[in-house]
Structures are given as structure tokens and as C-alpha cells.
A and B are shown apart, each in its own frame.
Chain A
Amino acid sequence: MKGNLGTRLMQVLPTLLLVSMLVFGLQQLMPGDPALVLAGEEHDPAVIAQIRTELWLDRPLPVQYLHWIGNVLHGDLGYSWRIREPVAQLVAEKLPVTMQLAFMAFIIAVCIGVPMGVLSAVKRNSFWDYFANGVGLAGLSTPNFWLGIMLILLVSVHLGWLPPSGYVSLFVDWRQSLATTIMPAFVLGNAIAAVLMRHTRSAMLTALDQDFVRTARAKGLKEYRVVLRHALRNALVPVVTLGALELGTLLSGAVLTEQVFSIPGFGKLIVDAVFNRDYPVVQGVVLVTATMYVALNLLADVLYVVINPRMRTA
């Protein structure tokens, strides 16, 4: 097991190195000279030259990369060109908001996706199976920003049950925090629920066809015990690891959901940075999300080994 994890860890390092090169390379796509963009209305060549020197733009590209990656490894993601604050500090401020949203979305996705997947597999080829598959496909096909707008229209404008936008921290007022985040979390969880439903159905169908389930039935156990205690327990192994891998979907979805519900999180940070042409923030956000994704991928591998005893001896 340790050997496997060591190999996996060794594979992660070159991936992270390539991610950093990719993120650094993004800046090279920018049309024009970044120093001129930063200088704005200032056309004094001395000022432009000073900006170039400060940002190491007057050095060769490999030297610029080594300087940048060296800073990143020391936790320095650079300075926001617009707000004049360290990017790492901005990320640290906004990340907890998105994490709260992503965590709630994941819980909602599990609560909808797993029971629907189980129902669909147990009642295979019945009305419930077709219904669950239809709901899953609709969930995958609904743009989450449109679902958000429709929910605001129904739940906030017509019914007046929840606030249409805004965010209150959990540590300030937990009730108000839940009221402001439950609707965006549902929107965000919707697509993940559909993916979880499909995987749970597939894993349950495989598990229900196994010998241990036949044995459990032959022992005279009640059907709900066979399904929940025997089949689901085994079917959940790939589903749990899938959850970790869906972080990318959650973070991508959060960009739009936070925009619709005016939540000051990670997604809104990157969108605002894009419109302010604040490229260090864009780079920082992409680098942090990619690193988190790679780390969670690794965690998924560890979880898989921990949950599945057969993998420990492999």
C-alpha cells in the first residue's frame, strides 16, 4: 500500500510542475505588453521601464518562470494589480466562502443522487428507473446559472421564502448564513447529484448481481437489509472516491452560481479579476484550484485503498 502511494505521489509532482508551467504560460497569451496595461494612462518610459524591472518582465522567459515558481513555493502568489493586496491573502479570504458552498452542495448531491441511484437500480426497467434516469439527464442538461435564475424567480420573487442574493458568514449568524447559501448550494449540487445517481445505479446493478447478495437473500434476510447493508455498502466504494473527483465540477459551477447569487467567493474573485484585467489573481486562482484538484485526486486514491480492503494487499 505504501509503495503504491509513493508511486502515486511521484506521479503527482511532474503533473503539478506542468500545471505551474501551464498557468505561467497563460500570461504569454495576453495581447500587448503587460507593463503598458499596468501603466494605464501613464506613458512615461521611465515608469514603464520600472514596472518591467519590478515584475521581472525584462528578463528571459525561463528566468521569469523560475522567479515566479520560487515565490509560489514560498506561498507568494504575487500582488493583485488592481487591489494592491497579496493574491494569497485574497484567495485565503474567499476560499472559505466557496468551500462552505461546495460542502453544502456535496451534501445535497449525496442526499439526492445516492437514493435515486439505489431506487433506479432496485426497480430496474420500471417507471421509477426511467423517472430517475430522466431526472438525472435533465440535471446534467440544465445550465446551473439558468436554474439559479429560475429558483430566484420562484422561491425569492414569487414565494418570498429566501433572500435572492447576498452572503452572511456562518460565524456571524448561522441561520442567515444557511438562508443565503441553501439555494445556491442546491443549484451547485444539482449536476453532481445527476452524476452520483448514474454512478450509484451502475455500481448497485453490479453489486446486486454478486454472489454475496444472492447468499444474503438465500439466508432469508429482508430485501431492504440486503439492499442497504450488503449491496449499497459495496456499491458506495467507487461513489465515495467519485465525490472527491467532482471538486472540479463544483469549483467550475461555483464561478457562475456565485455570480448569479452575488456571493463573494472564489468564483466571483476570478470573474472580477478577469474584468479588471487583474492577471496575477486569475493565475493564482487557476493554480490554487488545480493544486486542490490534484491533491483531492490523491486523497481519492488513498480513500479507495482505505475503504476497499482488497486494495491494501495489491
Chain B
Amino acid sequence: MSVTAIGAPAVPVASALVRPPQSPARLVVGRFCARPAAVAGLFVVVVFFAVAVLAPLIAPYDPVATSWTLIRKAPSWAHWMGTDENGRDVLSRVIVGSQASLMAGVLSVSIAAGIGVPVGLLAGFAGGKTDAVIGRLVDAMLACPFLILAIALAAFLGPSLENAMIAIGITAAPVFMRISRGATMDAATNEYVEAARALGNPPWRVALRHVLPNIVPPILVQATLAIAGAIIAEASLSFLGLGQQPPAPSWGSMLNSAQRFLTQAPWLAIFPGAAIFLAVLSFNLVGDGLRDALDPKRR
């Protein structure tokens, strides 16, 4: 259909009045980019990852090299963040420590999602007794306060960064189970799932090919926010001596040793803590931005 004005060329009504439809991914990116705080958070997250990957190249000094003459020197041009109780450069330790924190954040959330999403998918899709049993198990795990369960697990597994990541991953899994279960139950009522079933697809294929791709958005948001929580949890476990072991640097263990020199060398506590705060804040900003971009009604 077209409209022809006197002396004017024919213009299709549809193309004149209706904007071409945007792809859902482009819509989400557009909404995310409209939030300056989320974009700033993403920028800082990218900077942190770049620092962690390039740490061996950009750290000005060896993070574990001690020096008798440089014990507890205040920040200066030679050592921007000062030196610690063993004469080690704090900036180098903060830079290399980012590897432990970000690795713990990403790997423990991968463990949590790796356990939680399949189990949540199974509970939501199978329903009935399977759902009831998994539901009670999730309730039981959620009843144990996050950090207390992580401490107990790390204690029984033994203190190390790897065990801390496993402990955080297992402890964070129930939240992924609950979110995946809810999203699966919601997605399973859609007509395209009914159609896939009616076509004779086996249940596992319906779950993996038709339901799973549709529950990704809420899981993605939870994963981003969970990384922030996991970074704090890793720092907490390292602060208590249950995570990264000395002399390898970690922001949490640096804060632990800084406590003993609070009056003589406050910079030892300020910089690693500020790094944790900035990393966690950035992931929280990205998570909030993603949530609003994927579900604008929540705003």
C-alpha cells in the first residue's frame, strides 16, 4: 500500500510510519548504554581484567621480593602505594593480587552456575517429586549463612585458594538453582515449548534446545552480581587465612597483615581495601545495568 500526493513520489506507508524492528540483543545493548553508571562500571571491570592478565608485565616490582631496607616505607614516587612489613612493593602486590580475586570471582561463579543451572533446569522441567526434593535441598543450603558455610567448607577442605573457590562455588550454587528453576517453570509454559513437545522431541532436547536459551538473561544478571559477592567472599576467606596462602598476594590476606601495622603504616590497609571496593562496585553497577536492560519494567 502506498500514498501518492500530487506531484510527490509514492511513499510506502509502512516504511514511513514504522521504524524497522531492532534485534533483542541490540535493544538490550542500547538500554545498557543509556545508563552511564553501568557503562562506567563495565569500563572499570574491563580495566581490572586487563590489569590481571597483564599483571606480570605491568607490576613495577617482584610482588614477593622482600627488602630489609624498604620495610614499611610510605607512598613515594618510587613506590606509589608504599611498601609492606617485609619491604615488598604494595602496588605490585595489589596488581598481582587482582589475579586471585578475579579468578576466584569468575571460577567460583562458574562452579555455582555449573551446579545450579542444570539442577534448577531439572527441577523446573521435571516438577513433581524431583522438584520437591531439590527444593528442600536448596532450602537447607540457603538456611546456612553464606560465609559461615563457606568458612566451614574451606576449613574441612583445607586452606588454599582453590579450596576457597570450591567452597564459595558450592555455597553460591543454591541461588542459581532457585533462579533457574523459576525461569524454567516460566519458560516451560510458552507455546513454542508445547510445540516442541508435540513434535515428539525428547524431554532433554526440549529442555536444552528450547528452554535453556530462554533462561539465560536472569542467570547472566545473577552471575554478574554473584561475581561481586564471590570477590568479597574470597577476600573474606583470605583475610581469615583460609584462602590464598602467603607469600602469594591477595587483597584479603594483605588486609589481614595490614591490621597489625595500622598506626605505623595505614597505606597497607587503604589500597587493597580500595581495590576490593572498586572491583565489587563495578560488578554491582554492571549487574544492575544488565538487570534494567534485560527487564526494563523493574526500573
A: which residues have CB within 8 A of B?
Answer: 11, 14-16, 18-19, 21-23, 26-27, 29-31, 137-138, 140-143, 145-146, 149-150, 152-153, 157, 247-249, 251-253, 255-256, 259-260, 270-271, 273-275, 277, 279, 282-283, 285-286, 289-291, 293-294, 297
- Majority SS at the chain B contact face: helix
Out of A23, A143, A251, name the residue touching B276 (CB < 8 Å).
A143
Query: Is A15 a contact of B235 with CB atoms below 8 Å?
Result: no
Which of the listed residues A150, A274, A293 has the most CB atoms from chain B within 10 Å of its own CB? A274
Number of A-B contacts (CB under 8 A): 138
The answer for the CA separation of A253 and B263 in the assembled complex, in Å, is: 24
Query: Is A252 a contact of B146 with CB atoms below 8 Å?
Result: yes
Which of the listed residues A16, A146, A149, A282 has the most CB atoms from chain B within 10 Å of its own CB? A146
Out of B146, B155, B276, name the residue touching A248 (CB < 8 Å).
B146
The answer for the CA separation of A30 and B140 in the assembled complex, in Å, is: 21
Out of A150, A256, A259, name the residue touching B273 (CB < 8 Å).
A150
The answer for the CA separation of A279 and B240 in the assembled complex, in Å, is: 17
Instruction: Tell me, rounded to whole Å, the shortest Cβ–Cβ distance linking B165 to chain A.
Output: 15
With A15-B136, A141-B228, A143-B235 already in contact, the answer to whether A294 and B153 are too (CB < 8 A) is no
State whether the Cβ of B57 lies closer than 8 Å to any Cβ in chain A: no
The answer for the CA separation of A18 and B139 in the assembled complex, in Å, is: 9
The answer for the CA separation of A289 and B141 in the assembled complex, in Å, is: 12
State whether the Cβ of B269 lies closer than 8 Å to any Cβ in chain A: yes
Out of B154, B158, B280, name the residue touching A31 (CB < 8 Å).
B158
State whether the Cβ of B61 lies closer than 8 Å to any Cβ in chain A: no
Out of A14, A149, A249, A297, name the residue touching B255 (CB < 8 Å).
A149
State whether the Cβ of B241 lies closer than 8 Å to any Cβ in chain A: yes
The answer for the CA separation of A247 and B280 in the assembled complex, in Å, is: 22
Query: Is B269 a contact of A286 with CB atoms below 8 Å?
Result: no
Q: List 5 A-B contacts (CB under 8 A).
A: A18-B136, A143-B276, A157-B263, A255-B236, A293-B145
For B140, the chain A residues whose CB sits under 8 A away are: 15-16, 18-19, 21-22, 290
Q: Which residue of B lies closest to A294 (CB)?
A: B143
State whether the Cβ of B96 lies closer than 8 Å to any Cβ in chain A: no
Query: Apart from A137-B284, A259-B240, what are 7 other A-B pairs with CB-CB below 8 Å?
Result: A26-B152, A141-B277, A145-B239, A149-B269, A152-B262, A249-B145, A256-B147
Query: Is A146 a contact of B273 with CB atoms below 8 Å?
Result: yes
Query: Is A15 a contact of B145 with CB atoms below 8 Å?
Result: no
With A282-B152, A286-B144, A286-B152 already in contact, the answer to whether A149 and B258 are too (CB < 8 A) is yes
Which of the listed residues A11, A18, A259 has the most CB atoms from chain B within 10 Å of its own CB? A18
Q: Which bracket fits the contact residues of B?
A: 35 or more
State whether the Cβ of B266 lies closer than 8 Å to any Cβ in chain A: yes
For B149, the chain A residues whose CB sits under 8 A away are: 286
State whether the Cβ of B67 lies closer than 8 Å to any Cβ in chain A: no
State whether the Cβ of B50 lies closer than 8 Å to any Cβ in chain A: no
Query: Is B155 a contact of A282 with CB atoms below 8 Å?
Result: yes
Query: Is A143 a contact of B273 with CB atoms below 8 Å?
Result: yes
Out of A26, A141, A256, name the residue touching B240 (CB < 8 Å).
A256
For A19, the chain B residues whose CB sits under 8 A away are: 140, 143-144
The answer for the CA separation of A31 and B146 in the assembled complex, in Å, is: 23
Q: Which residue of A lies closest to B263 (CB)?
A: A157
Instruction: Tell me, rounded to whole Å, the shortest Cβ–Cβ distance linking A107 to chain B.
Output: 20
Out of A15, A152, A289, name the residue touching B148 (CB < 8 Å).
A289
Q: Which residue of A lies closest to B275 (CB)?
A: A146
Q: Which positions 247-299 of chain B face chain A at CB distance < 8 Å?
A: 255, 258-259, 262-263, 266, 269-270, 273, 276-277, 280-281, 284-285, 288
Out of B154, B236, B263, name the residue touching A256 (CB < 8 Å).
B236
Query: Is A145 a contact of B284 with CB atoms below 8 Å?
Result: no
Instruction: Tell me, rounded to whole Å, the shortest Cβ–Cβ distance linking A286 to chain B.
Output: 5
Instruction: Tell me, rounded to whole Å, the shortest Cβ–Cβ distance linking A257 to chain B.
Output: 11
For B139, the chain A residues whose CB sits under 8 A away are: 11, 15, 18
The answer for the CA separation of A149 and B271 in the assembled complex, in Å, is: 12
The answer for the CA separation of A169 and B284 in the assembled complex, in Å, is: 38
The answer for the CA separation of A16 and B285 in the assembled complex, in Å, is: 36
Query: Is A142 a contact of B146 with CB atoms below 8 Å?
Result: no
State whether the Cβ of B53 lies closer than 8 Å to any Cβ in chain A: no
State whether the Cβ of B157 lies closer than 8 Å to any Cβ in chain A: yes
Query: Is B236 a contact of A145 with CB atoms below 8 Å?
Result: yes
State whether the Cβ of B58 lies closer than 8 Å to any Cβ in chain A: no
Query: Is A22 a contact of B141 with CB atoms below 8 Å?
Result: yes
For A142, the chain B residues whose CB sits under 8 A away are: 277, 280
State whether the Cβ of B232 lies closer than 8 Å to any Cβ in chain A: yes
For B280, the chain A residues whose CB sits under 8 A away are: 141-143
Q: Which residue of A lies closest to B266 (CB)?
A: A153
For A285, the chain B residues whose CB sits under 8 A away are: 148, 152
Which of the listed residues A22, A273, A277, A283 has the most CB atoms from chain B within 10 Å of its own CB? A22
